[in-house]
A = this chain, B = another copy of it.
Amino acid sequence: MTLNPADTAFADTLRAQLPDDMLRSPEPRHLEEPRGRYAGQGGLLALPRDTEQVATLIRAANAARVPVVPYGGGTGLVGGQISSDGPAPLILSLERLNRIRAVLPEENVMVAEAGVILADVQTAAEDANRLFPLSLAAEGTARIGGTLSTNAGGTGVLRYGNARDLCLGLEAVLPDGQIWHGLTRLRKNNTGYDLRHLLIGAEGTLGIITAAALKLYARPARSGTALLVVDSPAAALSLLSLARDHMGEMISAFELMHRQGYDFLNETLPKTRQPFVSPPEWSVLIEIGTPGEIDTGAALETLFAAALEAGLVSDGLIAQNAQQAQDFWTIRETIPEANRLIGSVSSHDISVPLGAIPEFITRATEALNALGDFRINCFGHVGDGNLHYNVFPAPGKTRADYEDQRDAVKRLVHDLVHELGGSFSAEHGVGRIKVDDLERYGDPAKLAAMRAIKAALDPKGIMNPGAVLRG
């Protein structure tokens, strides 16, 4: 079925139904993505102020068969927010739906519109002495609607789950323009198919999330941070298991880092304070957060002693104050920037079953060494089985020197991930960039079901065409 461009005639149709200031030409930011690798095409930008206006826009787009690209904070890394071919789209930005409708600390619930920036959600929770635990590098720009549409992850997943796990209810506009009023604040509600979880992670292809009821948590009264040196990824997994025996769900983060990350920081951002004189081959950043009166420092000391005793760690630092804790986190959080400055040959946001992490790292590294001369920076949320396994040029070379090898590198990594029962996209989603991967690695029955669902809910294919499923 062919789609039509968001042309002047379509704009006139919209202007007849909506306030004057709602339609614009897209700004450059609506046509770019964070890594600057793909350029979007122009089109018509709509800036609705409320859910009814979103519904009006979608009904008009549906009637005119005009493609709609939903736009949140624009921080996605897989091109889900960027359309570069097909008829010029209606880019529907949620940035004006930016009200926090309710904060209910006694219920541990917040109701926020899709355009609220993630950091503002966190702050509003903090102001009510609560925690909204979703945290990721782009939180100052990402908006909660996009965060949910892509089921974003981040550093808090180990303890609190990903975006999906933090959502109690949704309000959304479906592809036919109907508003689904599903903004319940209920912890339990078994009344039919879970449309919420279908829209979360659908990356705007099944409708537009306009507001969400979010889960809040008690703020941990105390936190503790340690940076422990482990012999190997396998030792890191055993350390995680030991830490869980000691501290159960109080572990807030468990991040694995390879020496390459420290080296890249030294090379590109030498002012970063390095905690070790000589960077360890493998290290783990562990954070715990506890309620009440539990002494986090003592708990980490006990864990460290037990891990030394068990031969799992050989060295380590326990933060003695907030500044030291921040320094440890700065290492972890600055690695992506160092990576960007080096310039990767190919980056991979993969997950494998926890038990397969050591085998994955060993085999992927051996195979890449056989393929060519690379530097590999492997780091990530190891407690979730989620590694950012990124491949970089050898010293003195650049990304451009490896143009011919990029596809082979990606294929090698993703094939191995698939063989081990893993995922080629752990937290970034499919967007437009990984549609081929989904077709290659996705389960055929699941793909058929996805296509049937897409055709049933969006028979004209107007919602974010080309994302997730081929248009």
Contacts and interface: CB of A to CB of B under 8 A. Distances in A.
Interface in A237-262: 237-238, 241, 244-250
Interface string A156-198: 0110011011000000001000111110111111111111011
B250 A291 contact: yes
Interface stretch (A118-126, A350-358, A366-374): A350-358
A384 B354 CA distance: 31
Contacts of A450: 192-193, 195
Contact of A452 (B157, B426, B457): B457
A155 interface: no
A191 B247 contact: no
Contacts of A245: 218, 221, 291-292
Contacts of A430: 190-192
A381 B161 CA distance: 22
A448 interface: yes
A195 B445 CA distance: 10
Q: Please tell me how many copies of the chain the complex holds.
A: 2
B109 A353 contact: yes
Contacts of A428: 190
A408 interface: no
Given A194-B200, A453-B456, A186 B438 contact: no
A156 to B, nearest CB: 12
Interface of A: 104-109, 150-151, 153, 157-158, 161-162, 164-165, 174, 178-182, 184-195, 197-198, 200-202, 206, 217-218, 220-221, 237-238, 241, 244-250, 290-294, 299, 302, 351-355, 381, 383-386, 421-430, 434, 437-438, 441-450, 452-453, 455-457, 468-469
Contacts of A426: 186, 188-190
Given A385-B186, A445-B174, A457-B452, A354 B107 contact: yes
A169 B378 CA distance: 26
A421 B185 contact: yes
A353 B109 CA distance: 9
Contacts of A422: 184, 186
A194 B198 contact: yes
A198 B449 CA distance: 11
Contact of A188 (B150, B292, B293, B385): B385
Contacts of A424: 191
12 contacts: A106-B355, A178-B448, A181-B445, A186-B421, A189-B351, A190-B428, A192-B450, A193-B206, A195-B450, A249-B291, A453-B456, A456-B456
A353 B107 contact: yes
A30 B26 CA distance: 61
